[in-house]
Structures are given as structure tokens and as C-alpha cells.
Structure 1
Amino acid sequence: MLRILSLLLVLMGLTVQPAVAQGGPLRIVIDQGVVEPLPFAAPEFVAETPQARQLARDITAVVVADLVGTGLFREIPGSAHIAKVTSFDSPVQYADWKAINAQALITGAVSVAGDGRMNVKFRLFDVYADAPLGSGLQFAGTSDSWRRVAHKVADQVYSRITGEGGYFDSRVVYIAESGPKNNRAKRLAVMDYDGANSKFLTDSSALVLAPRFSPKGDRVLYTSYETGFPQIYLMDVASVSRRALADQPGTMTFAPRFSPDGNTVVFSLSRGGNTDIYTLDLASGARKQLTTAPSIETGPSFSPDGKRIVFTSDRSGSQQLYVMPATGGEPKRISFGKGRYSTPVWSPRGDMIAFTKQNQGRFHIGVMRTDGSEERLLTASFLDEGPSWAPNGRVIMFMRQGSGAGGTSALYSVDVSGRNLRKVPVPTAASDPAWSPLLQ
């Protein structure tokens, strides 16, 4: 197990250096750059009933795709395998897996009962330690839930090897776009994190923007122009029922986000030419104004502990990032680089803030520490914007738009290290992604 964990620290872009603190315990300093993904083997899961053959094949493929898609793992293809797994209970021939340089081995089995109920079990092995890495687990469900089960298996494997939480069993709400660039129809849609199972939540009769999941993933906030002005709506994902929030004549509301407990919404309200940040208690409807400056304050995002809010303001003469107490009060500017900053969002880990930056005609997705230090730009293109964090705080999804009249919007993801930039396979042009928490 120690060998796998050490290897993974290296491939995650980290170097392990033992250091002894004065009068304290041994500690590990982690820094430096990327080496190589960890090689693993995942023989096709065993079909324990005839009805499970295709499911076993499909589940194995999704588990492999999840792991390889992180950029942290490399699959050793089945054509290179020496040992053949024909029974879930067969003893592991570690020497055969060592011979092909597999550091980790995933085995599994799938069965389907007469009523259509499916059972999936798996084991993970540290090949060089000649030992299991954690206990075997099994998941039960209906056959049509096989993709979720595959994501759950991959999450377990990922977590056991990296020590981080997984993010595969999650969803993304986004804006599905169609039509010419100067007259796009935009619909609210939701999909699995990898682009599968996409479905619409609204029609194209009104422009919609900036959807955001609740902390439990059961509700979505978004902005709609169906009245002719931007207005925030709250939707129940299961029933697709919705209601308007903070609806007051003569105002425009937009850029909403939930508080960490899901009981409060923070948003921007524009009235009389001035835009400030407000909170709304969802139970009582009580509203509180947090900023009063004669400038534009927008894009608020809570810290994971709910104690602070990061937002964008042009009070200094250009768009910059500020942090203030969640109850209001004097904000502190945290961005000081060249260019304009927008769409800040706090990492689920609480240690970083992601943002959009525009500088010298280019757009970037970047991250910085919550005090503004250690700013790093992860991407650069004609137009990158709207970052959203994966539930474990390792991956960021965002929108990228091409230049020119034919330039379309697409979703991309990138590791927080700046590696592994990948296009997300969405069935339509897409923008404004927002990641859900891990599903329950």
C-alpha cells in the first residue's frame, strides 16, 4: 500500500520528501512536478449470470474511463494480461500482474436476478504489496442504474489509492445552446459528470443563465429572462417544479448561489442603476443587503464553512476579487494581478478560489489562495469562463467558446494543477457548468 501511495503522490504532481520537525513527529513535504500516471489492470468483470454479460462489459469500461480520464492512471490493456480472471473468488496471481508492471488490480463481478435487480461487487489489490487495498464492496440496484454503480466503484478505487474523495458519481447542470451565435436558444439541462444521460429541464422559450446546484443536489438556482428582465428561480430537480425568488418590481436579480447549508441564497440585485449583493432566507423570505458601495458587486460565492463570501467588484476602477464576512462588513481585496477578474468560486476544500481572468485579449481560468496569494492560470483561450469545482476540489469544469461567427461553446475540464485539459462530450453546444455534490 505504501508503494502505491508514494507512486500516486509522484504522479499527482507531487514529490515526497521526509523532514523532521524540531522536537516533533516525522512530516512529509509535498511539492514538484508530474512524472507518470499509475499503471493499473482492470480485467472485464465476471458475469455471474447470463443476463449480466453486457452489463459486466459496460461497467468495466466506465470504471476504466473514469480512472484514465483523471490523468492520474494508465490502464494496461487486456491484450497484455497474463493471468485471466474467470471467478471473483479466484486467488490473485500477483506475479503475473507484476510481470506486466500493474501497480493496482481491480477485479469485479456482476449478477442479475430474475426480477432485474443487479448486484455488482469488486476488489482492489496493491500488486507489489501482495495484498488487498481495503475490503471488497458490493452495490445493488436496478439494471438501468449500471452507470451510477460503475461510477461508485471508480470513486472507491480512486479514493483508496489517492486518499482523496471521489467525484465520478456526480452530475453537472449547464446551459444547452443551439442556433446561430447571435441568436442562441438556451435551455437548462443536466447530465452525468462525464456527459452521459443529458436531459433538458426547461424549454427554449426564455433565455436562462448561471444554474447552480444546492448542497444536496436536489435543487437548482438559475437566472431567467422570461419576464424580459433577469430574475432568479429555484427549481426542484426531481419534479422540475419551480418558483421565482426575490421578485420585486423595478429590480433585476441574478448570479445566485446557495449557502453551504442550503438554507440561504446569496445573489446580486440591481435597482436604480446600482448593483449590490444580498442574501435571502429561503424559509422566511427575509432579505439582507450586504454591500452598499456605488459600484457593481456581483458573482458572490460562499466559503465552505459559510463564514465568508468572495465576489467581484469594480470599486477600485476595474473588476477585482474581494472577500467579506458572510454577514456583510468591510471587504478585503485579494486580487492584484494585471487584467480583470470575475466569476469567483470557493473550492469545496476551502483552500482555493477559482476565477475567470481577462488580460491582453485572452481569457483564463485560474486559481489562487483565499488571501489572493499563489495565483496560477490554468488555461488560456479566446474565451474561457465560469469555473465550477468537482466535489473533491481537484478538477475544474468551465466553458470555452471559439472565435468568429461560427465559434461554439463547449465544456472543458482541467486538473487544479493545470494538467489534463479535456473536452467534456456534451450532445449540444454548452456553457455555464455547475457541478453537483456526490450523489446520495
Structure 2
Amino acid sequence: MVDFLNVTNLECGKARRQIAIAFAAFLAVLFAAMPVRAEVSIDINRGNVDPLPIAITDFVGGAGQEAQIGADITTVISNNLERSGLFRPIPKAAFIEKISDINVQPRFGDWRIINSQALVTGQARMESDGRLRVEFRLWDVLGEQQLTGLQFFTTPDNWRRVAHLVSDAIYKRLTGEDGYFDTRIVYVSETGPKNARVKRLAIMDQDGHNPRMLTNGAELVLTPRFSPNSQEITYLAYRNNQPRVYVLDIETGQQEVVGEFPGMTFAPRFSPDGQRIIMSLQRGGNSDIYTMDLRSRQVTRLTNTAAIDTAPSYSPDGRQVTFESDRGGSQQIYVMNADGSNQRRISFGQGSYATPVWSPRGDLIAFTKITGGRFVIGVMRPDGTGERILTEGYHNEGPTWAPNGRVLMFFRETRGAQGGPGLWSVDVTGYNERPVPAATMASDPAWSPRIQ
């Protein structure tokens, strides 16, 4: 783990003072004469944003392991920011100044010549106790001032997570929004031919690295979903053709059966406080929404219709639930209060709607829509207004939100005998659609909250 007790904030001009006294005094002298100008920033509320040119230098280190870790951290940060679609890392071959000491003010003119508006410098050093110390500075090249900086202490093998944390800090300082790079994706890994597909639960970092399998493929697994603390997931598995809802601790591997339910069970998902699971149970020929208290195991029914009600998702404040239902004759999106009251339909466009999931920001509901033979991923406001299509394809399904509510991930099937599912992401504005690397074919992704 990153030692958060030893994360030092080096941000200038803020009320927070978490810096060692000697170093704080040094910074004050170094930057006292710097001019105050308008800060560089990115307006991410616009649709198609021109990427911000940013220079990310190799993190300074010694020889051997330090040098390699420094270069690797730089690569991860550059890749993270570039994939967001908001930044354009400048090729290192264009750099004029070589950074050898991050405590010395950069030659801003050298960076303006290559059209860089922001500059990242850093260093990676091994401490005498074996820990890795990583520092970075984010500079406004045009304003000639430091915007932020952090220092991390961790184990050397945890350098990749530090790179994600640095990426998040840069993203937040320049956009005003929380980053989403220090997160993970749980998904269904699929291998083998279409007629004998093996499905296992898997997890990886949001950029596709550090993949590992969580189940062995002996059971069919479906619909994995993270708990609010990102430590546990709930999912559905079939053992001896009987559906079971599980809760799995992804760090310890400890697994618990939440319940075995007669008939079919669908789409379990945690409540925002992590105390309940909401799901769809099929009883008496129709499917309704139920919640289960994880402490008492008490089950409460929320819907009671002759229709198929399924795919429930809580609002981030836990007060409402969105779900899909065919009670009106076709699959549509509904919203109700968390106790099941005030059930109302919110989707009225052409086609059928499915897999609604509430944004972590609370402002949008994402969905899958089938219309005219097309599978589209879209969003609408919780009252059903403002429907927008973000992407369409042969078979798109299963949207999941990044924890900052700015990016969606989903899976897309490809045609043909060799076809299969793969993961994709798209910005909430509908721009910057990209494939997400995974070790195998992958479906039904779920994006974690920020790692605690």
C-alpha cells in the first residue's frame, strides 16, 4: 500500500501546510518572486475539448532500479493522461531542457518554445529503509508558477499505483474534477470457443495492467459489482444449476454466500452504504426487485407486478432506485424511491431500454438501448429528459461509470466465428471512444470507487 500518512502536499499558495518546515521555507524563497498570472486549466464541461499540451519528464533517479522506476512512472502518467482525451503529452524528443533537480525552477522559456502549457517533473529515490520515495511537481508554463506537488512513500513494487495517484492529482488540479486512474475494473473474463465459453471473474487496473483471476471457471459467473469501499464485490454464480449470490473479498479471497434463492436471480448490486444488496428475484413466474440486509439477511420486496422488473441501481445518495421493467409492454427505465414507493417511468423514446445505472454524480442515468437493430449506450437525466446517445455498434451493453462520473465503460461484441466481447470506454460527452486492453475477451465490466 501507499503510505498515506507520509504523503506530503507541496501545493503553493494554499492554506494547507503539510510540509516539513525547512522545505517549506526553501519553497517560499524559491517562488516568492514568481509572477502571478491566470492559471492553466481545462474546461471539461465543453463537448470536444482540444487536448492540453503537457510535457512529462522522466522522473529523476539514480542508476539501475531507481532510473527504471522513474521512467516507468513517467510512462504510466503519460498514458493515463493521454487516454483521458484531455491531454496531449509532448514527445520527449522535443524537450530542450533536461531536468536533473526538481527543486530548481524550470527554464519556462524552453518549454514555451515547444508549445507546452503544463510541465510535470519528478523524482524516484530509494530510502535507506528500503522504501521508495516519489515526488512530483506540476508547473504552469505560461504562468511560470508551481500548481501542485506531492510526495509518496511506498514499497518499490507499488510504483504503478503511485503513478496512478500522481495522474489523479494532475487531472484534478487542471480540470477541477477528481481523477479516476487509481481504480480497478472487475469483469467477466471469457475464453474458449463460442459454443464452450469459460467465464471467470477477473480484476485489473483501469488501464488493463495487473490482471488476475478471482474464480477458477468451475461455475458460470455473472454481473460482478463493487462495494462502496472497493474491497468487496457481489456477483451471481451458478453451482449445480442453482443461482447463488456471493460477496467476495478481493484482497483476502474470502467468499460468502449471501443466499440461495429458488428460481432465477439477477443483477445483485450494493447499496451506497454497503449495508444492503438489491437484486431481482424470479418468483411465481415474474421477476421483482428485492433488497437484502447483509447483517440480518432480511429480504424486502420493492416491486410487485406481473412484469419483469430487473437491473436495479441505487442513486448515489441511496434515496432512489432505477430499474428496467416491461410492465408497459416493452423494456423501459423506471425510477422509484428506495422503499419501493412512487414508481414512475422515465424513458419514452423509440426502442427498448435496459441496464440502467446511476452516475456517481447523481446527475445522469446510463443505459443500453436497442432500436432499429442497433445497440446504443446513452444517458438521460433522472427525470427522463436530455436523452443523448454516446455510442452505437453491433452489440453494446453493460455501461458502468468511472467514480468521477465523467467516463463510461461498456462491452462490445464483435461479429464472426472468432468474434467475442471486448471492453470500451467513452467520455460522457460522447467523445474519445477507445478500446480498453484486457488479457482475454471481457464482458460485463464494473468500475470500482477510488481505491481506499
> Which residue does the alignment assign to 2:222?
209
8 Å contact 1:49–1:112 — kept in the other structure? no
8 Å contact 1:246–1:253 — kept in the other structure? no
Candidates 354, 357, 378, aligned match of 1:345? 357
1:28-39 map, 5 Å: 33-39=47-53
SS of residue matched to 1:412: strand
- Quick one: distance in 2 between partners of 1:246 and 1:222? 11
> Which residue does the alignment assign to 1:309?
321
Please state how far the C-alpha of 1:242 moved relative to its aligned partner: 1.3
User: Is 1:392 paired with 2:404?
Assistant: yes
8 Å contact 2:396–2:410 — kept in the other structure? yes
- Quick one: distance in 1 between partners of 2:236 and 2:101? 52
TM normalised by structure 2 equals 0.90
- Larger displacement relative to structure 2 (46-55 or 386-395): 46-55
1:38-437 map, 5 Å: 38-48=52-62, 50-134=64-148, 136-248=149-261, 250-437=262-449
- Quick one: distance in 2 between partners of 1:160 and 1:138? 16
8 Å contact 2:49–2:86 — kept in the other structure? no
- Quick one: distance in 2 between partners of 1:86 and 1:390? 36
> Which residue does the alignment assign to 1:19?
none
- Output one character per residue of 1:60-110: Cα deviation in whole Å (capped at 9) or x when no partner: 000000000100000111111111101111221111111111111100000
Give the aligned CA root-mean-square deviation in angstroms.
1.3
> Which residue does the alignment assign to 2:28?
none
Please state how far the C-alpha of 1:377 moved relative to its aligned partner: 0.9
8 Å contact 2:375–2:396 — kept in the other structure? yes
TM normalised by structure 1 equals 0.92
- Quick one: distance in 2 between partners of 1:302 and 1:409? 27
Identity of aligned residues (%): 52
Please list every run of 5 or more consecutive structure 2 residues that lacks an aligned counterpart in the other structure. Answer: 1-36
> Which residue does the alignment assign to 2:31?
none
SS of residue matched to 1:101: coil
- Output one character per residue of 1:274-308: Cα deviation in whole Å (capped at 9) or x when no partner: 10000000011111000001100000000000000
4+ residue segments displaced more than 2 Å: 48-51, 113-116
SS of residue matched to 2:115: coil
8 Å contact 1:267–1:278 — kept in the other structure? yes
> Which residue does the alignment assign to 2:24?
none
- Output one character per residue of 1:346-396: Cα deviation in whole Å (capped at 9) or x when no partner: 000000000111111110111111111111111111100000000111110
- Quick one: distance in 2 between partners of 1:51 and 1:292? 62
Please state how far the C-alpha of 1:231 moved relative to its aligned partner: 2.3
SS of residue matched to 2:253: coil
SS of residue matched to 1:133: strand
Please state how far the C-alpha of 1:2 moved relative to its aligned partner: 3.8
SS of residue matched to 1:89: coil
- Output one character per residue of 1:112-161: Cα deviation in whole Å (capped at 9) or x when no partner: 13553101000001111111113x21111111101100000000000000
The one-letter code of the counterpart of 1:45 is F
- Output one character per residue of 1:395-429: Cα deviation in whole Å (capped at 9) or x when no partner: 10111001233211100111111111111110100
Please state how far the C-alpha of 1:252 moved relative to its aligned partner: 2.4
The one-letter code of the counterpart of 2:171 is Y
8 Å contact 1:51–1:111 — kept in the other structure? no
- Quick one: distance in 2 between partners of 1:333 and 1:425? 36
